[in-house]
Copies of this chain bind each other. A is one copy, B any other.
Amino acid sequence: MLPRPAGIVALLTDYGARDPYVGVVRGTVLRHNTRAVLVDIGHEVPPQDVAAGALWLLAAAGRFPPGTVHVAVVDPGVGTARRLLAAAAHEGYWLAPDNGLLSHVLAADPRAEVRAVDPAHLGLVPASRTFHGRDLFAPIAGWLSGGRYGFTALGPRCADPVRLAPLGAGDRRVVYVDGFGNLVTNVRGDALGAAAAVRIGGRELPILGTYADVPEGAPLALVGSFGLLEIAVNRGSAAVLLGLGRAAPVELVPSPRTSA
């Protein structure tokens, strides 16, 4: 069953804070639903980094109230023929370009339903070919959050959204480096099995519970804020200490010392 819109619009973009673009999107959502409650998931996704944006969205899945309309605009193909998607998943709604941005959110909800939005059918003619966040996503988010259009009215079902490789598929590696220098891997926290340590950059690091389980400046592994295995340094930056970044390979090390 589709959730009732909660009037909340949660925004994620790669527009950054350095320009007025996010502000213009916020205003446009409000123009289409004056009572919308706007919340930022964040706007500093690295520019045009769809893979990172997909991880951010996964971090937000299930965190907002049921019926929240999540809007994600990381859109290197803006103005081309790439489709505009709407999804119902995790008891909420999701709007994004069809470039893989919704991959992890969809993979994590087996009941997810996707539709290809038809802007012209909704009466939308974008004023620009470079700012669909303002001209398409914002009006649709306003209308969906305010109940002017229901989810099923947005367009026909879409069976083949663009998909990134699922988390947990392929080689184990670093997929994201956060602002603190934590190296976030594609190993799900619930898929560690008997592993008690990880091998990365020539080191073996124990999988522990929190940063302070090692001395200041020492590295460790833990299940972090994304629910993924990550490499961290107590009060420091793993990226700096280890000199590693995205794509660095990671191995799980089962250990005789494991007690669980």
Using a CB–CB distance below 8 Å, which chain A residues touch chain B?
6, 8, 10, 12, 15-24, 26-28, 30-31, 34, 37-44, 47-48, 55-56, 59-60, 63-65, 68, 76-80, 128-131, 134, 178-180, 209-213, 222-225, 235
Q: What would 21 A/B residue contacts be, using CB atoms closer than 8 Å?
A: A12-B20, A17-B44, A19-B42, A20-B41, A20-B42, A21-B59, A21-B178, A24-B59, A24-B60, A27-B60, A27-B64, A30-B39, A30-B64, A31-B64, A34-B65, A76-B211, A78-B210, A79-B210, A80-B212, A128-B224, A131-B224
* Closest CB in chain B relative to A11 CB, distance in Å: 9
In the complex with contacts A17-B44, A129-B210, A179-B18, A63-B225 CB distance below 8 A: no
Residues of B within 8 A of A59 (CB): 20-21, 23-24
Identify which of B6, B40, B43, B56 contacts A26 (C-beta below 8 A).
B40
Identify which of B6, B27, B60 contacts A39 (C-beta below 8 A).
B27
How many copies of this chain sit in the oligomeric assembly?
3
Are A42 and B63 neighbours in the complex by a CB distance under 8 Å?
Answer: no
Residues of B within 8 A of A8 (CB): 30, 34
Identify which of B16, B17, B56 contacts A20 (C-beta below 8 A).
B56
Task: Name the residue on B nearest A36 (C-beta).
Answer: B37
Are A130 and B178 neighbours in the complex by a CB distance under 8 Å?
Answer: no
Residues of B within 8 A of A134 (CB): 63, 225
Apart from A76-B212, A130-B224, A134-B225, what 10 extra A-B contacts exist at CB < 8 Å?
Answer: A17-B43, A21-B59, A30-B64, A30-B65, A31-B64, A34-B65, A78-B210, A78-B212, A80-B212, A131-B224
